[in-house]
Amino acid sequence: MLRLFQFEPKYGLPNVSPFCMKVETFLRMAKIQYAMQIVKNPRTTPKGKAPYINDDGTVVADSAFIVDYLTEKYHVTLDRDLTGLQRGIATMTTGALEERLYFVLVYSRWVEAKNWEQIKQLWFSGLPPVVRSVVPGIVRKGVIKTLNLQGIGRHSRDEIYALGIKDLKGLVQVLGDQKYLLGAEPTSVDAVVFAFVANILKVPLSSPLFDYVADQHELVSYCQRMGKKYFPEYAVFQS
Ligand SMILES: N[C@@H](CCC(=O)N[C@@H](CS)C(=O)NCC(=O)O)C(=O)O
């Protein structure tokens, strides 16, 4: 059976990594059976990041390549009826969320002092006491360095959130009052959108991203709709 390697679910959410949650959502949308295996240390994975899959010996790392591989191997038809324009919107939306909004989300979790205290508990509480007093600081320094190299870390706090909210506003504009991002039926881009929206709305950390999404009635309903449909066993989507 296909094995999905991802981080342990936390906060009652399928995953606090939007990339892991994207792949698990896609597997459920495509009705592909899988078993979950927990990644404790990303350094043990093929590309040093989660998620990856092992499908009867075929290893695929990176959520984009995983979705492409699954679509081809399992003849997934979720996007069958999309027009060229819709396919373009799906690709560009995925890029905006994964290559920009993601880093704003990382900033909100790992750099903002109040949220960092919670993240530290959440991620590192399982470590032995001596290691626990050293490792979180080292990992956080690495994250801050990454944000600087990526570029987002060079902006002011207000500028960083303005960029994130720009992406979220784009989502709200594309979604409108439709049930799913591209119309009445879910398509594969909904795995990406749902994973990001749920990771902002359902993780109990405060940030301007949360404030913005919580105010967007259509986006909140969308998140509940996707959650109820694909993760019915998760209480967080049942309200
Ligand atoms: N492009 C990758 C991104 C995956 C990614 O950034 N995963 C993060 C968690 S959200 C990770 O494993 N980080 C661990 C690390 O960088 O050490 C994908 O789409 O799968």
Question: Are both 49 and 141 inside the same structural domain?
Answer: no
Does 16 lie in the same domain as 95? no
- Answer whether 135's CB lies under 8 Å from 124's CB: yes
Which CATH number is 128's domain given? 1.20.1050.10
Supply the DSSP string of 58-100, one letter for each residue: EEEESHHHHHHHHHHHTT--TTTT--HHHHHHHHHHHHHIIII
Mean pLDDT of 91-104: 98
Q: Please, are residues 140 and 56 in contact by the beta-carbon 8 Å criterion? A: no
Q: How far is the CA of 184 from the centre of ligand 1 (A)?
A: 31
Do 128 and 173 sit in the same domain of this protein? yes
The last residue of a domain, from among 52, 73, 94: 73
Which of 179, 177, 181, 201 has the alpha carbon at shortest distance from 189?
181
Domain assignment present for residue 238? The answer is no
User: Residue 49 C-alpha to ligand 1 middle, in angstroms?
Assistant: 4
Confidence of residue 239 (pLDDT cuts 50, 70, 90): confident
Nearest CA to ligand 1 atom 14: 49
Residue 14 has a pLDDT of 98
One domain, residues 46 and 105: no
178 and 65 share a domain? no
Residues 183, 69, 62, CA angle at the centre, nearest 5°?
90
Q: Taking each helix axis from N to C terminus, what angle separates 157-175 and 189-201, rounded to the nearest 10 degrees?
A: 130
Kindly give the number of the ligand 1 atom that is closest to the alpha carbon of 45: 12
Q: Average pLDDT of 2-14? A: 96
Peptide bond into 204 cis (omega under 30): no
Same domain, 7 and 100: no
* pLDDT in the model for residue 31: 98
The atom of ligand 1 lying closest to the CA of 61 is 20
To test the pocket of ligand 1, the residue of 10, 21, 41, 49 to mutate (highest count of ligand atoms within 8 Å of its CB) is 49
Measured from the Cα of 23, ligand 1's closest atom is 20
Strand partners, 38: 6
* Residue 39 belongs to a domain: yes
39 and 140 both lie in a single domain: no
Which residue ranges have their beta carbon within 6 Å of ligand 1? 17, 19, 42, 48-51, 62-64
Claim to verify: residue 126 and residue 28 sit in the same structural domain = no
69 with 88, same domain?
A: no
Nearest-CA residue for atom 6 of ligand 1: 49
Q: Provide the residue type at 143 as one letter.
A: V
Q: What is the CATH number of the domain that holds 24?
A: 3.40.30.10
Residue 239 lies in a domain: no
* Residue 126 pLDDT: 85
In this structure, the residue with its CA closest to atom 13 of ligand 1 is 49
User: Among candidates 165, 176, 235, which has minimal Cα distance to 200?
Assistant: 165
pLDDT tens-digit map of 184-218: 999 999 999 999 999 999 999 999 999 999 999 99
pLDDT tier at 148, thresholds 50, 70, 90: very high
- CA-to-CA distance for 137 and 68, rounded, in angstroms? 36
Question: Is the domain of 52 the same as that of 98?
Answer: no
How many whole angstroms separate alpha carbon 85 and alpha carbon 206? Answer: 35
Residue 79 belongs to a domain: no
Number of domains in the chain: 2
Both 98 and 126 in one domain: the answer is yes
Determine, yes or no, domain membership for 92: yes
Nearest atom, ligand 1, residue 50 CA: 12
CB 167 within 8 A of CB 100: yes
Residue-number span of the structural domain to which 42 is assigned: 3-73
pLDDT digits (tens, 9 = 90+) for 12-50: 999 999 999 999 999 999 999 999 999 999 999 999 999
In terms of pLDDT, which residue wins out, 239 or 156? 156
Write down which residue in 48, 73, 98 finishes a domain: 73
Q: Output the CA 83–ligand 1 centroid distance in Å.
A: 30
| Pair 118, 65 in one domain | no
Q: What was the pLDDT predicted at 145? A: 98
